[in-house]
Structure 1
Amino acid sequence: MKAYKIPFLFIALVFLILSGCSSLTQKANSSVTKTIKLGATAGPYSDQIKQAIKPYLEKKGYKVEIVEFNDYVQPNISLDQGAIDANVFQNEIYMKNFAKTRHMELYEVIKIPTAPIGVYSKKHKSLDEIKDGTTIALSNEPINQARALAMLEQLGLIQLKKGIDPTKVSEKDIQKYNKKIVLKPLEPAQLPRALGDVDYSFINGNFAISSGLKLKDAVALEKTPSYYLNGVTVRKKDKNAKFVKDIIAAYKSKEFKKLIKEDEEYKGYVWPDWFK
């Protein structure tokens, strides 16, 4: 009898020890803080994360790291490669086109208040001063160039070919110049710097604001359609993840709404329907 009791007691003791260790390990793992890396272009979208999104997520127990970018290419590459968990800088049309050409699985989870494209000038106070020979800088990136060309048509300066998808137009789709303006396509980030060399420049809101310009200083602002509103983009496989749902909740929070509605810096932004 005694010969059998000792091994049994030993085995039972080992089982209890291992169970205790497993419990402690699970407890330790459950207490590990989830780190979220959010990418954004330097300027208003990065500022919004710092001012309202990061504090909200930190209250939920996350550690939040903000990664700033200065172009429209690296944020999606970093997201696709897993260097960041989400990015905030682009509209859905740009994102889908980028993902298709680069064979990426990206997904927009929510649209956010967006700074419109503005027409800025250091030489002129209004568009009434446009004449033959006036130089106008605009983006060389296809999606944002299409936006600028649509604005030029709305302003009566050009006529685009009939039946062309307004989100895909380019300079070759200009049917007629109502004034002999000179268009100068440039990298989006270079457009604010071009103000000293051209008469007018079409500048995306984030680059305008990050360079010290204000929306109220623009001689004209885009009437931004909903499909050009920026959004939060994640990898498609993560679209239903808990951290993604919490990012969405952060943008829908009363803290974020208060920031956008009350801070002077965000006057002139275009709001998505859910935000109103």
Structure 2
Amino acid sequence: MRVFMQSLALAAVVVAGLAGPYAQAADPAKKELVFGATAGPYSDQIKLGIKPILEKQGYSVKIIEFNDYVQPNFALAQGALDANVFQHEVYLRNFASKNKLDLVEAIKVPTAPIAIYSKKYKDVKSAPDGVTVAVPNDPTNLARALVVLQQLKWITVKPNTDPITVSEKDIAENIKHIKLVPLEAAQLPRSLDDTDFSFINGNFALASGLKLTSALALEDTTPVYQNLVAVRTADLNKPFVQDIIAAYKSREFLAVTDKSFQGFVKTDYQRALEAKQ
């Protein structure tokens, strides 16, 4: 409840409109940083790995947790945040374009893949025809779920369909006669009590106590679906953003990833660091 109220409070500030310095790009010499992140692993990555590194460099770091995929980008664009961590590049690109927000990717981060869970079945092979499957209701994450459903041979999609934009209208055959139940991503963990299977984004799965090792099928996460640090475009080349990028690329953060975020899809720069060890 505390996290939810924090999110609502910040959202209220943003919706009301921020004036003065909040609406401007951050000062290049600033030393007070405010990150926004969905509650769970991406907030924890900052808390355990990034915040200590930045604080050693003299920064003061605050983390604001959100329970949705909408307010963090508005808060960032308005200046209430200096960076956020919760989305992949497809979502950022679509959201920023639709809402005319001048936001950009700074760096990819280790990512928990979207996965399918069930309280009723021990594996996907035991699923009978006609099961209900909860899926994210935002287009980009729905597309990820549909790609996995095709890999499971529960559906087929029309030939030459772009896997990044695939939607329900692109389903060619519903082989298992499944019923899709679109829900907000944050509600998907709770849907396990009411549906046969649920696709749950990694951050919400882990925040609700689910483990990646208990998933019945994991997405093969490609770079476009790896989560990222987003910043205002005007801030991208400023020292504080470059320091954030350097913190994520550090061996210290790689060690935190290995210890506390096992099963996450590592970034290219982390794999390059491992190759040098």
Fold match by TM threshold 0.5: yes
Matched residue, 1:172: 169
Aligned to 2:253, which of 227, 242, 256?
256
Quote the offset at 1:262 in angstroms.
2.4
Q: Aligned partners of 1:107, 1:181: CA distance in 2, in Å? A: 37
Matched residue, 2:73: 76
Q: Aligned partners of 1:215, 1:152: CA distance in 2, in Å? A: 18
Matched residue, 1:10: none
Matched residue, 1:273: 268
Stretches of structure 2 that go unaligned for 5 or more consecutive residues are 1-28, 272-277
Quote the offset at 1:179 in angstroms.
1.1
Aligned to 1:85, which of 47, 57, 82?
82
Q: TM-score, normalised by structure 1?
A: 0.86
Cα contact 1:131–1:181 (8 A) shared by 2: no
Alignment of 1:1-276 (within 5 A): 34-263=31-260, 266-276=261-271
Q: Aligned partners of 2:200, 2:170: CA distance in 1, in Å? A: 21
Q: Aligned partners of 1:271, 1:197: CA distance in 2, in Å? A: 33
Task: Give per-residue Cα distances to partners, 1:148-192, cap 9 Å, x unaligned.
Answer: 001000111101011111111111110101111111111100100
What letter is aligned with 2:267?
P
Deviating above 2 A after TM superposition, structure 1's stretches of 4 or more consecutive aligned residues are none
Q: Aligned partners of 1:44, 1:269: CA distance in 2, in Å? A: 10
Matched residue, 1:5: none
Per the alignment, do residues 33 and 233 of structure 1 end up closer, same or farther by CA in structure 2, a change over 3 Å counting?
closer
Cα contact 1:79–1:234 (8 A) shared by 2: yes
Q: TM-score, normalised by structure 2?
A: 0.86
Task: Give per-residue Cα distances to partners, 1:185-212, cap 9 Å, x unaligned.
Answer: 1110010000000111000000000001
Quote the offset at 1:37 in angstroms.
0.4
Task: Give per-residue Cα distances to partners, 1:11-33, cap 9 Å, x unaligned.
Answer: xxxxxxxxxxxxxxxxxxxxx97
Task: Give per-residue Cα distances to partners, 1:236-260, cap 9 Å, x unaligned.
Answer: 0000000000001111122210011
Equivalenced residues, count: 243
Q: Aligned partners of 1:273, 1:74: CA distance in 2, in Å? A: 29
CA RMSD of aligned residues (A): 1.0
Cα contact 2:30–2:240 (8 A) shared by 1: no
Q: Aligned partners of 1:59, 1:33: CA distance in 2, in Å? A: 15
Q: Aligned partners of 1:49, 1:226: CA distance in 2, in Å? A: 20
Q: Aligned partners of 2:130, 2:98: CA distance in 1, in Å? A: 36
Q: Aligned partners of 2:129, 2:115: CA distance in 1, in Å? A: 21
Larger Rg: 1
Per the alignment, do residues 172 and 33 of structure 1 end up closer, same or farther by CA in structure 2, a change over 3 Å counting?
closer
Stretches of structure 1 that go unaligned for 5 or more consecutive residues are 1-31
Cα contact 1:52–1:256 (8 A) shared by 2: yes
Q: Aligned partners of 2:30, 2:101: CA distance in 1, in Å? A: 28
What letter is aligned with 1:273?
D
Aligned to 2:220, what secondary structure does the other structure show? coil
Q: Aligned partners of 1:262, 1:185: CA distance in 2, in Å? A: 34
